[in-house]
Amino acid sequence: MKDLKSILENEILSRVNKPLRYVGTEYNSVKKEWNKVKLRTLFAFPDLYEIGMSHLGLRILYHLVNEQPQYLMERVFSPWTDMEQALRERDIPLFSLESYRPIAEFDCIGITLQYEMSYTNILNMLDLGKIPLKANERKNEYPLIMGGGPCAYNPEPLADFFDFFVLGEGEEVILEVFETISSHREKHNGRQDKKILLKELAAIKGVYVPSFYKPIYVDGVLIEVQPTKPDVPRRVVKRVVQDLDKAYFPLKPLVPYTEVVHDRIMLEVLRGCTRGCRFCQAGMIYRPVRERSSEVLERQAKELIKATGYNEISLTSLSTSDHSNIKPLLKSMLDKYEQDRIGISLPSLRVDAFSLELAKEVQRVRKTGLTFAPEAGTQRLRDVINKGVTEENLMEVTTAAFEAGWTQIKLYFMIGLPTETFLDLDGIVDLAYKVLHNGMRILREGGRTRQAKITISVSSFVPKANTPFQWEKQDTLEQLKEKQRYIKEKIKDRRINYNYHEAELSILEAVFARGDRRLNELLLKAWEKGCKFDSWSEHFRYNLWLEAFQELNMEPQELANISEEFDRKLPWEHLNMGVTKAYLWQEREKAYQTVATEDCRYQSCTTCGICQDLGVSMVLERK
Amino acid sequence: MLVRIKYRKTSAGRFMSHLDLLRTIERIFRRAGLPMAFSEGFNPHPKVSFGSALAVGITSDAEYLDVELREEFPLDQLRERLDVAVPSGIEIMEIRQLQTRTRSLTAQINMARYRVYVPLAEKMEASELEQLIQKAMVQPTFIVTRDGKKGKRQVDIKNGIYKLEGRLDEDYIILQIDVQTGSEGNIRPEEVVEMLRKTGDLYLREGLQIHRLGLYVREEAAIKTPLEI
Ligand code: SF4
């Protein structure tokens, strides 16, 4: 039989769409000799190459592991449907990009859990790789399947398929995990004895082995997820990097041949956000705020440009304009790189004058669009969600933007938030019109010929685990659709462009975001029916999901919601992400009283729990 | 300084589209620490121009591009720096400095040479192949249909085929063809294969492989490469 590499190169790649999705020889990719390392690992991203390669976490872990001489890490992404068909027709197993090896030949596969609607792709990848889906069906000769990333804080809907999960920031723990696996293999003649190995792994702080825990139900109500082994912790605590300056950051990152979604240098300026929006999971799970110092950032920028050749640096984080030194940092980078036509971009802007000043600076080299996120249409509802943005803020910043030359502005909103009424929807429409009319006036008075245009992008609220709103009811599908229609009917002006997401997807997202182990069955059934690439509207098939629900006697609306009592155990309560349940509950109560909570970076500590319990602290370059 | 670079496209390189290549060239020069010159204006872009575009999937031994740099460098240093900055699948072959801005590469290049592997579904004798090529080449015209922006178009490709040679290797015909390329007309190697197939009632299998051997400036007197003129 011809080897996989030559079949792929000569017979398959030239027949699929975008073949470079499947070629792992990009600049700065690492290919190590298979037989010269102790452990062969694979990073699996359950979505397309273009999405996965835009993810900073992949680059951090890929290069961190490959810089260790004793390990190798290769990559695999979900093949698009044309490639899947080509593989299935010829019975070719899913392969890694670097060495074109079947994924089942690796010792450990780490699958990143970035969003719930990629879960069917995980099953599809394992199946394409000829790996049994369920952890208890995988004997010792199969790779260990590890999960990590934001969705690992509630991994219960995936518990059957994974051998273990890693909670928290991967660069802090991954080498300990690989060290444990490789020394285990050394002791066991190059093989693994899963029963023993999983116990050894469970002893690492931050590692959760779901088969060592059992959910206890009484009358269909979850009472607790209990350890079934004496020496595993009752609650698994996540891992956190304390000092971002000392944390590993790849200085020779991969440079794709073909365009990916975020095709630029990603420079992580800070981690965490403590603005405290009550719907936002990232704002809770990535605490505390830790800034990287300007000195380190400048040095990294310089080396990254040399190593990648990119012409754009994105200063990434959840809230870049909050970096305490952002203005001088931005100015200095722009000055340094302007003549080489290297631009800087800021992915997220606060709604305030300061952020607009930053955006104006950035324009010196490259024009970019402007996006702001008021999230809700009225002051009342913005106070409920603790989004510290006023209408004056928005008008001030958009006025300045139109005056500075922008003509198009994008605004993000959410519908279905707790306590929302139709008045709040009217508020969204009113705000859009106000910003538009203001823009038209400014452009007219400035004698400019281009028209003002507003895009409002409206998503549906999904209650997420580990947020103050984790107990909230989600709107029904009908309610969400009615609200979407309501806004649509009120927007008559063609200069306002109105986008919204499929509400069905938001319902499913809520199901999985707060689900327990019973969902494993549902996921499997939906995948068997052909669900995959659910986050791609051309592939999303809600009717198949409904069939799966029906056959299992499950009710989406019921599953999408959990009990609203504080004392009830949550399906993920045996996992400790740092911020306490009591704090989240208190934030929820404050939401109903429309009381604001200040940002601990500017005011005093509000005792969310993470710094107290996990021995970390906020790091700011300048107080 | 203005330089003309000859490079190869192999393995992954053949799957890069023109746009991929454009982006990659800029990155290669930046990695190599060779500052490119940029155009003036609202949206400056690096001053690079390419020879004839290559369809995605085709490997090539001889592609060309002209680049303007903001500083002078000795050619051997240029070569050294570029060699470490190119990704796998692109290989620098030769660099020459251009003294003055001549006509653009696309305006100069007017002929391409290809090697094409044509998989046969039926056995064929060497003499049959020879006759077939002769028969195909004596036809005064050969019309192909092309999909253009304004719908289908009929084009005579015969005059643009300068040379056609072939030999058999097991169940493949290996062709070497010289065809017109560039702004005056562009003949695709698949069209030449189509001419042979129709003329000889050939049965072919899937899996045509095309490789570009060279790009040339063809004049009355001689055929030269873009580095020789
Ligand atoms: S513990 Fe206090 S300082 Fe630390 S993130 Fe929470 S609120 Fe901020």
The CATH number assigned to the domain holding B145 equals 3.30.70.3190
Q: How far apart, in Å, are the Cα atoms of A480 and each of A209, A506, A557?
A: 37, 9, 12
- C-alpha B17/C-alpha A18 separation (Å) is 9
Residues of A within 8 A of B57 (CB-CB) are 14, 19
C-alpha dihedral sign at A594, A600, A601, A604 = positive
- C-alpha A63/C-alpha A171 separation (Å) is 10
Beta bridge partners of A218: A221
Chain A interface includes B117 (CB < 8 A)? no
Q: Are B114 and B95 contained in the same domain? A: no
Structural Rg of chain B based on CA atoms: 20
Q: Are B130 and B27 contained in the same domain? A: no
Asked if B51 and B64 touch (Cβ cutoff 8 Å), the reply is yes
Chain B: residue nearest A340 by CA? B35
Asked if A143 and A539 touch (Cβ cutoff 8 Å), the reply is no
Candidates B31, B38, B57; nearest CB to A309: B31
Residues of B within 8 A of A307 (CB-CB) are 31
H or E segment at A138? none
Torsion, Cα B49 B53 B56 B59, to 10 degrees, reads -90
Residues of B within 8 A of A23 (CB-CB) are 11-12, 15
A244-283: buried (b, 16+ CB within 10 Å) or exposed (e) per residue?
beebbbbebbbbbbbebebbbbbbbbbbbbbbbbbbbbeb
Site of tokens 């009591």: A582
H or E segment at B11? none
- C-alpha A570/C-alpha A309 separation (Å) is 48
Asked if A418 and A472 touch (Cβ cutoff 8 Å), the reply is yes
Q: How far apart, in Å, are the Cα atoms of A117 and each of A59, A524, B115?
A: 22, 13, 47
CB–CB of B88 and A25 under 8 A?
Answer: yes
pLDDT band at A1; cut points 50, 70, 90: very low
Asked if B215 and B111 touch (Cβ cutoff 8 Å), the reply is yes
Q: Are B114 and B178 contained in the same domain? A: yes
Q: Is residue B206 in a domain?
A: yes
pLDDT value for A20? 96
By most ligand atoms within 8 Å of CB, the mutation choice from A274, A278, A580, A620 for ligand 1 is A274
pLDDT value for B100? 78
Tokens, residue A73? 């890490």
Total number of domains constituting chain B: 2
pLDDT tens column, A288-344: 999 999 999 999 999 999 999 999 999 999 999 999 999 999 999 999 998 888 999
Q: Are B102 and B119 contained in the same domain? A: no
pTM (2 d.p.)? 0.94
Tell me which of B78, B107, B136 is where a domain ends. Answer: B107
H or E segment at A173? helix A170-187
Chain A interface includes B207 (CB < 8 A)? yes
pLDDT tens column, A190-227: 999 999 999 999 999 999 999 999 999 998 888 999 99
- C-alpha A118/C-alpha A148 separation (Å) is 13
Asked if B82 and B92 touch (Cβ cutoff 8 Å), the reply is yes
The answer for residues whose C-beta is within 8 angstroms of residue A223's C-beta and 6 or more apart is: A216, A217, A569
Site of tokens 């970076």: A601
> Is 50 exceeded by the pLDDT of residue A448?
yes
Q: Is residue B198 in a domain?
A: yes
Asked if A343 and A311 touch (Cβ cutoff 8 Å), the reply is yes
Q: What is the mean pLDDT of residues A569-596?
A: 96
Kindly write down the DSSP assignment for every residue of A537-606, as one continuous string.
Answer: TTT--HHHHHHHHHHTT--HHHHT-----TTSPPTTTTEE-SS-HHHHHHHHHHHHTT-----TTTS---
Mean pLDDT score across all residues of chain A: 94
Coil vs helix vs strand at A1 = coil
Q: Is residue B38 in a domain?
A: yes
C-alpha dihedral sign at B128, B130, B131, B135 = positive
Candidates A19, A257, A263; nearest CB to B87: A257
CB–CB of A13 and B11 under 8 A?
Answer: no
Candidates B12, B31, B207; nearest CB to A257: B12
Coil vs helix vs strand at A501 = coil
A25-59: buried (b, 16+ CB within 10 Å) or exposed (e) per residue?
bbbbbbebeeeebbbbbbbbbbbbbbbbbbbbbbb
Residue nearest atom 4 in ligand 1 by C-alpha distance: A611
Q: What is the mean pLDDT of residues A403-428?
A: 95
CB–CB of B16 and A257 under 8 A?
Answer: yes
> Which amino acid is located at A50 in the chain?
E
Work out the number of other CB atoms within 10 angstroms of the CB of residue A224.
Answer: 16
Coil vs helix vs strand at A498 = strand
- C-alpha A330/C-alpha A351 separation (Å) is 18
CA of A172 to the centre of ligand 1 (A): 20
Most distant CA atoms of chain A, gap in Å: 79
Q: Are B87 and B122 contained in the same domain? A: no
Q: What is the mean pLDDT of residues A108-116?
A: 98
Residues of B within 8 A of A257 (CB-CB) are 12, 15-16, 20, 24, 87, 89
Residue nearest atom 5 in ligand 1 by C-alpha distance: A288
Asked if A480 and A416 touch (Cβ cutoff 8 Å), the reply is yes
Q: Give me the interface pTM, i.e. the ipTM.
A: 0.91
Asked if A295 and A252 touch (Cβ cutoff 8 Å), the reply is no
CB–CB of A257 and B11 under 8 A?
Answer: no
pLDDT value for B106? 85
CB–CB of A308 and B20 under 8 A?
Answer: no
Tell me which of B107, B133, B148 is where a domain ends. Answer: B107
Question: What is the bridge-based pairing of β-strands B2-9 and B90-98?
Answer: antiparallel
How many A/B residue pairs have CB atoms within 8 Å? 69
Q: Is residue B229 in a domain?
A: no
Min mean pLDDT across A9-18, A125-134, A543-552 is at A9-18
Residues of B within 8 A of A19 (CB-CB) are 15, 57
CB–CB of B209 and A340 under 8 A?
Answer: no
Q: Are B9 and B60 contained in the same domain? A: yes
- C-alpha B68/C-alpha B204 separation (Å) is 45
CB–CB of B15 and A257 under 8 A?
Answer: yes
pLDDT value for A267? 97
Q: Are B167 and B123 contained in the same domain? A: yes
Closest CA of chain B from A70, distance in Å: 25
Please give the share of chain A, as a percent, with pLDDT higher than 90.
89
Candidates B16, B17, B30; nearest CB to A309: B30
> Is 90 exceeded by the pLDDT of residue A378?
yes
pLDDT value for B206? 85
Question: What is the bridge-based pairing of β-strands A575-576 and A236-237?
Answer: parallel
The answer for residues whose C-beta is within 8 angstroms of residue A6's C-beta and 6 or more apart is: none
By most ligand atoms within 8 Å of CB, the mutation choice from A610, A617, A619, A620 for ligand 1 is A610
Which residues constitute the domain of residue B9?
2-107
Among residues B221, B160, B150, the alpha carbon closest in space to that of B185 is found at B160
Min mean pLDDT across A9-13, A184-188, A596-600, B142-146 is at A9-13
Residues with CB under 6 A from ligand 1: A 274, 287-288, 600, 605-608, 610-612, 618
Q: Are B69 and B53 contained in the same domain? A: yes
Tell me the residues of chain B between 74 and 103 that have a Cβ less than 8 Å away from chain A: 85, 87-89
Asked if A193 and A141 touch (Cβ cutoff 8 Å), the reply is no
Work out the number of other CB atoms within 10 angstroms of the CB of residue B185.
Answer: 14
Tell me which of B107, B134, B151 is where a domain ends. Answer: B107
CATH number (domain holding residue B63) = 3.30.70.580
| Best residue in A10, A14, A30, A89 for a mutation probing chain B (most B CBs within 10 Å) | A14
Chain A interface includes B12 (CB < 8 A)? yes
CB–CB of A26 and B87 under 8 A?
Answer: yes
Q: Is residue B194 in a domain?
A: yes
- C-alpha A153/C-alpha A155 separation (Å) is 6
pLDDT value for A561? 80
Q: Are B96 and B152 contained in the same domain? A: no
Q: How far apart, in Å, are the Cα atoms of A389 and each of A355, A377, A406, B52?
A: 13, 11, 21, 54
Q: Are B219 and B123 contained in the same domain? A: yes
Q: Is residue B39 in a domain?
A: yes
> Is 90 exceeded by the pLDDT of residue A363?
no
Q: What is the mean pLDDT of residues A515-522?
A: 95
pLDDT value for A2? 60
Tokens, residue A149? 């990333």
Kindly write down the DSSP assignment for every residue of A186-253, as one continuous string.
Answer: HHTTT---HHHHHHHHHTSTTEE-GGGEEEEEETTEEEEEEESSTTS-SSEEPB--S-TTTS---SS-
Chain A interface includes B107 (CB < 8 A)? no
Work out the number of other CB atoms within 10 angstroms of the CB of residue A417.
Answer: 25
Q: Is residue B121 in a domain?
A: yes
Residues of A within 8 A of B17 (CB-CB) are 258
Structural Rg of chain A based on CA atoms: 25
- The values of phi and psi at residue A408, to 5°, are -125, 135
Three-state secondary structure readout of A265-310 = EEEECEECCCCCCCCCCHHHHCCCCEECCHHHHHHHHHHHHHHHCC
- C-alpha A468/C-alpha A278 separation (Å) is 5
By most ligand atoms within 8 Å of CB, the mutation choice from A271, A275, A287 for ligand 1 is A287
- C-alpha A501/C-alpha A517 separation (Å) is 27
pLDDT value for A349? 86
Asked if A85 and A12 touch (Cβ cutoff 8 Å), the reply is no
pLDDT value for A564? 86
- C-alpha A535/C-alpha A17 separation (Å) is 19
Min mean pLDDT across A68-72, A330-334, A347-351, A441-445 is at A347-351
Site of tokens 């100015």: A331
- What is the residue-level pLDDT of chain B in tens, covering all 229 positions? 999 999 999 989 999 999 999 999 999 999 999 999 999 877 788 999 988 788 899 999 999 999 999 999 999 999 999 999 999 999 999 999 998 777 888 888 999 999 999 999 999 999 999 999 999 999 999 999 998 888 899 999 999 999 999 999 989 999 999 999 988 889 999 999 999 999 999 999 988 999 999 999 999 889 999 998 8
CA of A600 to the centre of ligand 1 (A): 6
Coil vs helix vs strand at B6 = strand
Q: What is the mean pLDDT of residues A459-478?
A: 96
| Best residue in B10, B11, B21, B27 for a mutation probing chain A (most A CBs within 10 Å) | B27
| Best residue in B11, B18, B22, B31 for a mutation probing chain A (most A CBs within 10 Å) | B31
Q: Which atom of ligand 1 is the closest one to the Cα of A272? A: 5
Candidates B20, B44, B46; nearest CB to A257: B20
Residues of B within 8 A of A25 (CB-CB) are 11-12, 87-89
pLDDT tens column, A499-510: 999 999 999 999
Q: Are B143 and B86 contained in the same domain? A: no
> Which amino acid is located at A330 in the chain?
L
Domains and CATH numbers, chain A: 2-237 (3.40.50.280), 265-518+554-614 (3.80.30.20)
Q: Between vectors from CA A407 to CA A406 and to CA A410, what angle results, nearest 5°?
A: 90
Three-state secondary structure readout of A45-73 = ECCCHHHHCCCHHHHHHHHHHHCCCCEEE
Coil vs helix vs strand at B163 = strand
Q: Are B120 and B217 contained in the same domain? A: yes
> Which amino acid is located at B29 in the chain?
F
- C-alpha A404/C-alpha A399 separation (Å) is 8
